Structure 1
Amino acid sequence: MKLVGRIIVADEGLNGTVSGTKASCDAYMNHLKANPIFDSAEFKIDDVEEPSFIKMHCRYKSEIVHSGLRDPGIINPQEKTGIHLEPNEFLEMKDRDDVVILDVRSNYEHALGKFKNAVTLDIDNFRDFPAMINELAQYKDKKIITYCTGGIKCEKASALLLHEGFPEVYQLHGGIIKYGKEAGGEDFEGKCYVFDNRVAVDVNKVNPVVISTCSNCGKTTAKMINCANPECNEHFTQCDACGVKLDGCCSEDCQAHPRKRLYDGTGYYVKIPMQVNLNKRLKGNYSIKVTQPEI
């Protein structure tokens, strides 16, 4: 199959995104569905003009999403996790006075886009989430609805909140991406960061706004890139003018770095630029994300 993407395999399940022609993506999904292990696999499909990756990367990890909490006695989403809300249920519930919307993603993600009035956390990685529980204690008398990009982080986040004594915890099933597709994305402000060469995607078709600003000049911009200095590689928002001025770097120091990568305007870099011929302009290219909790 002519596929590119990123797939993570762990003892607790499978999570990945692949991109290719419709025929290749269909073959991949059918192959997984044919195995009873993946009976509960959930596929999210996007139509894209070009592949969302330029190579295939598949590897084993101890956790699908690293939380640092490997003791199943602490969190086991298969046994206890937040109540799943479908997008339209989330839409109906999110503005109630007794509800708190909790973003469990990292700083660079919610800086680009988040739900209106959502509580965000100062974390660089999801493994920092458990240390934030004490800061969330003020919301124990509320209904907590967690959300993330595709719903995977919420499985562990909501399970941990329940373990820590939060009495009523929910999660947005399928995350921001599914909410945009099925409920129009209302009140999601900005863009949604994604982990492929699209970098950011539109979600809100109802009342869209841009909330992110250029890290260099402060101008409103929805463009997020990686610093062209590979030893920095910081995720940050930068307008096109500053991108040209700084060669896609976050600072003049990084711009002067001898290993600075060539900035092509996208700010997306890969370790091995191995091109894969997927008939890029072929109509019907798909990018699909598959999630399979608990193998």
Structure 2
Amino acid sequence: MQKIILFYKFVPVADPETVMFWQRNLCERLNLKGRIIISENGINGTLGGQIENIKMYIRDMNKHPLFKKIQYKWSDGNADDFPKLSVKVRKELVTLAPDEQFNVFNSTKGLKPKQWHEYIDKHPDVVILDARNDYESEIGAFKGKNVIKPKIKNFRDIKSELDKLPKDQPILTYCTGDVRCEYLSAYMKHKGFDEVYHLDGGIVKYGEEYRDSGHWEGKCFVFDERLNIAFSNKSKDIGICVHCDNQTSNHINCEDKSCNRLVLACVDCATKTNNCEQHSSVMV
């Protein structure tokens, strides 16, 4: 049986290149596929493979002085959900502010899923900032009176959204597995925000605990061949097909080479055209 794990850790890494070669050799030996990014600030990865091999990977990680006590998020899937194994060194674990100096290890408090859930219960007017891209949030998001879903295609563009937010009020921020929102919380602290909380473990951990009975609605976008995951058989399709306006969570890439845009197309429409609404010559 196979599974997929999602993980990260912010920790000073003196020699990212050496860690990269170790990670590549370890994953190849265990027949794991996926993506791993290493920087001077830590590690961020998603891997798929046989459960026993993943457990061996985790055991080796726990033996390393830098990578002990990582929180691993498990989900259904397999190695074939990734085209290959990619292990790279980058300047940032997630690209946000490569030209700015700030302490990435000085993140704000993370709220466990139960704490997050109860905070929203007690403070229904709290500002909730989605730290993901718009094509992610269109199929699933937290519900609330003041949920902000930025119209961005890249995480680094979320900086422009911060200028619109109050610095003297509590703000909750979340993402898929917590790496982006923890990183963002450190950046927001650097920018003078007084009270920012990120969802510890991200949407995935919240979904494990509350499924579809909490403040989450829809499905969770993931960056592999699955494209999304549901937390129960009650998960709703809240995205809108670009062709017929029916509700869907099905993404396709426009086949037009000048476009390649990721758009929502329901299964019925996707059987008739593999293009977006602008480049489709088929009436659907």
Establish whether residue 172 from structure 1 lines up as the match of residue 199 from structure 2. Answer: yes
Mapped to 2, the partners of 1:50 and 1:43 lie a distance apart of 16
Matched, 1:211 2:232: no
Equivalent residues in 2 for 1:229-248, closer than 5 Å: 229-246=256-273, 248=274
Deviations 1:239-260 (A, max 9, x none): 11211211x221463679xxxx
Aligned positions of 1:99-178 closer than 5 A: 99-117=126-144, 118-137=147-166, 140-178=167-205
1:227 to 245, 254, 258: 254
Q: Which residue of 1 aligns with 2:61?
A: 32
- The farther-off stretch of 10-19 and 47-56 is 47-56
Instruction: Return the TM-score normalized by structure 1.
Output: 0.78
SS, match of residue 159 in structure 2: helix
Specify every segment of 5 or more residues in structure 1 that has no aligned partner in the other structure, as ranges. 257-295
**Structure 2 residue aligned with 1:77, among 104, 118, 121?**
104
Q: In structure 2, do the counterparts of structure 1 residues 76 and 244 end up closer, same or farther at CA, with 3 Å as the change threshold?
A: same
Tell me the secondary structure at the aligned position of residue 203 of structure 2: helix
Partner of 1:293: none
Alignment correspondent of 2:227 = 199
Q: Secondary structure at the match of 2:176?
A: coil
SS at match of 1:165: coil
Q: Structure 2 unaligned segments of length 5 or more: list them.
A: 1-29
Q: How many residues align?
A: 249
TM superposition shift of 1:35: 1.0
Deviation by residue 1:150-205 (Cα, 9 ceiling, x = unmatched): 10111221122222222111010010001001233412121110011110111367
* One-letter amino acid matched to 1:105: R
Contact 1:221 1:239 in 2 (8 A): yes
Helix, strand or coil: the match of 1:93? helix
Q: Separation in 1 of the partners of 2:263 and 2:198?
A: 27
User: By how many angstroms is 1:47 displaced?
Assistant: 3.5
Matched, 1:86 2:112: yes
Q: Which residue type is aligned with residue 228 of structure 1? A: E
Name whichever of 53-62 and 211-220 sits farther off: 53-62
| 1:44-99 C-alpha deviation (Å, 9 max, x unpaired) | 12243674223211111111110024433xx3231x21211000000101131452
CA deviation string 1:258-277 (max 9, x = no partner):
xxxxxxxxxxxxxxxxxxxx
User: Equivalents in 2 of 1:98, 1:252: separation in Å?
Assistant: 38
Task: Give the RMSD, CA atoms, in angstroms.
Answer: 2.2
Greater relative contact order (Cα < 8 A, sep 6+): 1
Structure 1, residues 77-134: CA drift from partner, whole Å, max 9, x if none? 31x2121100000010113145221101111111111111221112111110112221
Percent identity of equivalent pairs: 36
Distance 2:193 2:115 in 1: 21
Which residue in the other structure is 1:5 paired with?
34
Helix, strand or coil: the match of 2:248? coil
Amino acid corresponding to residue 159 of structure 1 in structure 2: A
Contact 2:49 2:78 survives alignment (8 Å)? no
CA distance, structure 2, for counterparts of residue 255 and residue 44 of structure 1? 42
